[in-house]
Amino acid sequence: MDTNTAIAALAALAQSTRLDTFRLLVKNEPEGVPAGDLARALSVPHNTMSSHLATLSRAGLIRSERQSRSIIYRADVDVLRNLTLFLVKDCCGGSPELCGPLIAELTPCCAPEPLRS
Amino acid sequence: MDTNTAIAALAALAQSTRLDTFRLLVKNEPEGVPAGDLARALSVPHNTMSSHLATLSRAGLIRSERQSRSIIYRADVDVLRNLTLFLVKDCCGGSPELCGPLIAELTPCCAPEPLRS
DNA sequence: CTGCTTTTTCGATAATCATGGAAATAAGCT
DNA sequence: AGCTTATTTCCATGATTATCGAAAAAGCAG
């Protein structure tokens, strides 16, 4: 992920309505949520929500797909993952020991391979 | 980390000079860098750099300490770590399998316990 | 105290952003 | 075609942000 992409993603998430929207979409993966439902769920006018969705889209954090009259939005978790890597690599590149605790905290919550076999 | 803190940190990093500054400070942990050197390194006027440093400080991402005439700035990696956890927990909370790949990519770069014994 | 260095604060300007009313577009239904 | 629903675009407003010149503050040395 290049710097400009990262900045766009950071800026997109640095606004409460957009952050709430993105988190709501992540929770509703992979079905997605229509634009109108998002506006209603967050008590935001349709046009305001629409412009926030456009910002998140431009940042690549969400994708949309028309489904008859509704437009379904979905979170693109890959971009979130890349953004996280982008941020973490700065601190790991310089001093790996600083980020050990991060892995330690992250692993119990979402280890790549569950312990149950 | 609460939402407002996260938004402040995201907004602070969503600007190229500030992002560059923060990355430079992370690279220079734990010695830190004086404000003037930061301005010079990034070719930014002193007062402009000063206001960016104030923004990063308010977001908790950096700390400052006077050392005779200079003011030394240091990155606070804890806040970066908490911000990362904040972002990742959204996707892990909803669907842990989405974030397995993140751990997988992160571990080789900065595993909590080095393989060499 | 005067002069020098380093950094911040003040203040102004231009640019970008958030918000939402009103109109436009798109899709389906009768 | 006309009518309803869902969403976006257009446009104007007020608010916030980025930038930087000029002046102020904080510290050190003579």
* Minimal CA separation from A11 to chain B, in Å: 5
- Section B55-74 average pLDDT: 97
DSSP letters for A58-97: HTTSEEEEEETTEEEEEE-HHHHHHHHHHHHHHHHHH-GG
Compute the distance between CA of residue B45 and CA of residue B43 in angstroms, rounded to an integer.
Answer: 7
Confidence of residue A94 (pLDDT cuts 50, 70, 90): low
pLDDT at A117: 46
DSSP B50: H
Q: How many CB atoms lie within 10 A of CB A72?
A: 18
Q: Please state which architecture CATH assigns to domain A1-117.
A: Orthogonal Bundle (1.10)
- How confident is the model at residue B90, as a pLDDT? 74
pLDDT band at A105 (very low <50, low <70, confident <90, very high): confident
Q: Is A11 on the interface with B (CB under 8 A)?
A: yes
The per-residue pLDDT for A107 is 73
pLDDT score recorded for residue A7: 98
pLDDT score for B29: 87
Task: With cut-offs at 50, 70 and 90, classify the pLDDT of residue B107.
Answer: confident
Rounded to an integer, the average pLDDT of B19-29 is 95
> B117 pLDDT band (50/70/90 cuts)?
very low
Q: Are B109 and A96 inside 8 Å of each other by CB?
A: yes
pLDDT of residue A110: 65
- Residue A37 pLDDT more than 70? yes
Cα–Cα distance, B105 to B110 (Å, whole number): 10
Name chain A contacts of B113, Cβ cutoff 8 Å. 100
Rounded to a whole number of angstroms, the distance from the CA of A96 to the nearest CA of chain B is: 5
Q: Do B102 and A109 touch (CB under 8 A)?
A: no
> Would you place residue A26 in the very low, low, confident or very high pLDDT band (cuts 50, 70, 90)?
very high
Q: Hey, what CATH topology would domain B3-77 get?
A: Arc Repressor Mutant, subunit A (1.10.10)
pLDDT in tens, A50-91: 999 999 999 999 999 999 999 999 999 989 989 998 998 876
- Asked whether residue A33 carries a pLDDT value surpassing 90, the answer given is yes
